Structure 1
Amino acid sequence: MRKVAIAALLILLATVICQAATYTYTFQVYIGGEPASGDLYIYDMGGTLVDKAVINSSGMATLILDEGSYIAIVVTNTSMLSEIVTLTNETTVTLNSSTMYKISFTVSPSEVPVFDISFTPLNDSAATATFTIPSNKTLYTANPVNITVPKEVRGTGFQMFYKYVFKEARINGQVVTDNTFTVNETAAVEIVFEKQYALPTLTREQMYIIIIIAAVIVIGLFMVARRGETIKAELAELMEDEFVGSGGGERELEELRRSAGEDEFVGA
């Protein structure tokens, strides 16, 4: 019995020793040399969200985390920042865009709607998790990244009858025709699409709306036509009453009716 108790105690002690220590970490974020406000997301190396926090106006956010390696993602109104960090007992973590690659995106033609670009931070061994950034934001990354651009972007609004097909990407002027490519330096990335005609892709709700609008238009035209016939009949009756009231004879009335019929025929 004593041996069993000692063994259980040793297992418990080993478990406690092997557990990662937990600390309160303060993240200080700088973009363009200034404290950045926005949102901080911490992911494990497989891309699962571990925790998140709001970055205050001083560029600081605090989280309680275990020691280990994580992917830190910062999202602001105009940019995203990505860095693989290893947390130890040093509880202050600085994320500074000035020490990272700056990847800015431009899209041609400029009318292409904003779309999501996928990027995968790379470490020394292999690719890690994949994230997305809108095409109108700047990416700062402390690690090389694999970037994937969609092969096709559908038009919206007045451009709904067009699609934009990926043609090439120009990385600091160097042309690549594959929509997945690696960037390991500060780079200006121009993404070029070809504009093509295409039938719009409609959701079920959009189809219902179009059917309802078409039905309303048809009913409206029918009502206008019926109202036009009614007005025409009322005018003919009014003219007849006025003619008879003015003393017109039967022959003149018949000629008036015949004339009205011919006018209607010609108008038709």
Structure 2
Amino acid sequence: MGSVSDEELTGALEEILTEADLEATTVRTVMQQLASRFPNDNLEGKNNFIRVELARLVDTIEERKEAKEEPEEGSLEEEEEDVVEEEAAESSGSEVVIEEIEEEAEEEELEEEEEVEDSPKPAKRRKLTAFEKAVVLKDPLAEALGVRVVSRCKLPQHVKAYIEKHGLEKNPKDRREYLSDDTMRKVLKTKSFSMFSINKYMAPLILKPDECDEETQEEARAYEAKVLAALPATSRNGESKAAKKRKKAKGM
């Protein structure tokens, strides 16, 4: 049995996520696609790497989409300049007046931009990824894990905590699996499970917040707000137009 490299996994994950609907994509579906791409490789030991790469790549893809949706910097200013030029031309009908207006406007613009050139733009917090958004656990699973509202990426941690707290034993026939205790046997309806297959058993026990009552939806919103507040802000600082013009003038 071979061992797939981290680079190969990252490339495969990027291809999968680029083509996928991130709102509907789950860790389980991604794992299944990876398993089909690398049928001769054991991915069990790569679970942590895969989850970290998933979160990173989802962030990267969403930031790319946001960047495409944002208007180019300075486009609004350029439109306003065009309006000023047209109005000046219509009112005066003189090319000399137009040139003077252009020069004055450019000088004022350069002065203003030089003042704020080194001032950082307000940081913008990124949106939550599909794996970071809250889900609601149905009562049997919520009672077993001791949590009702949680993000998908944190769910395996709660399962792992349950395994350690209740001392679930390894399956002697397959050391990758854990033997279900009475509670997990009733909740998951399986005698054994692995961290790789756990999502399959939990899927019927997971709800989206909008499928719940208003109180639960409010709890989910509060959870997501807490997660979002803990995320680092993404900087949107960029080179000012004044700096670009100076570079252009110097032939850089």
* TM bin (shorter chain): under 0.3
Alignment TM-score, normalising by the size of structure 2: 0.18
Higher RCO (CA 8 Å, separation ≥ 6 residues): 2
Q: Between Structure 1 and Structure 2, which shows a larger proportion of strand residues?
A: 1
Larger Rg: 1
